[in-house]
Structure 1
């Protein structure tokens, strides 16, 4: 009987401990998009971090907002911008931030690099507040000797794919653009843009 009670108490304690501490779920602030302080470039040690840096894309912004940090160390998020003014009004200057994660799928290794822009507005009144765009760099394996299989760039809820994207060394050259009146998307480009931490 005591053993059964011990098991039940252990099970109950396990269930209770699986629920997050309510104090850790405090809401964070929504702050001005240009007040969010980016994180310094930080990658995991070893092979994963090495691959993240080796294939980190350059981003050329042809029109619209440049990338901004989306969240700060306190968990506060940027409030974005209304679709007023020009395509880059209020969002033409920032160090930016690139967010990255990698994983294996069907034997290939994919690295997703994501950027946040405070608005996606080809012209005043068109578009929407907040824009997330990303590129997936596909490698033959998670290995130092991997070969590039291609890239997939986000475009209006889908992906445009290229098996031979323009590169600078091992780094894809990606563009952010809009052809009026359609919202922004990523493209591959021969022009080399900047990089973000």
Structure 2
């Protein structure tokens, strides 16, 4: 499955799930507990799950609960982190993994109830935002898989891909990986 198909599947599933479900306040969405990893794919996903660095922005929240109720988000008004400093119920990381061109790919996604960016005509604010990161490995079944590259989506929707051989410091500004 290609990365584009993987991303499309995730967005389609989230859209279909939200069609028959209620929308609730962003701070009322109960996150799913992380299950104990059993398969090679699950163990790899947990081992290489990045941590976000939140710097004066909205914190991630769960997007959907077990009943299929989805976050209503927040209006894009006020301070960048106003009313958005983290759910008392916990956060949620969504993930998928797939082989892509002989590389193992772990994709992680975080939901934010609102976001801002500096546009051409000033500050642009909107309800609902997703950020994702991709960790590229040689093979998750190896005792010590090698991280080949890490990708993160930039504000313009393009991916910044950093090869571990080229520079790990560049990407460390965005994510701190746990290994």
TM-score of Structure 1 vs Structure 2, range by shorter chain: 0.7 to 0.9
Q: Is 1:34 paired with 2:38?
A: no
- What count of residue pairs does the alignment treat as equivalent? 153
Please provide the CA RMSD for this pair.
Answer: 2.8
Whether 1:188 and 2:178 are equivalent positions in the alignment is no
- The alignment's TM-score, normalised by the length of structure 1, stands at 0.69
Distance 2:44 2:177 in 1: 19
Change (3 A) 1:193 1:37: farther
Residue-by-residue CA offset, 1:75-112 (whole Å, 9 max, x unaligned): 00001111111001111122211011100011000000
SS of 1:138's equivalent?
strand
Gaps of 5+ in 1: 1-23, 168-186
Q: Please report the TM-score for the alignment, with normalisation by the length of structure 2.
A: 0.75
SS at match of 1:61: coil
Task: Choose which of 106, 114, 123 in structure 2 pairs with 1:111.
Answer: 106
Which ranges of structure 2 fall in alignment gaps of 5 or more residues? 1-16
In 2, are the aligned partners of 1:83 and 1:125 still within 8 Å (CA)? Answer: no
State which structure, 1 or 2, has the greater radius of gyration over its C-alpha atoms: 1
- 8 Å Cα contact 1:108/1:142 also seen in 2: no
2:157 matched residue in structure 1: 157
**Structure 1 residues 142, 191: closer, same or farther in 2, change over 3 A?**
closer
Alignment partners' CA distance in 1, 2:104 and 2:84:
33
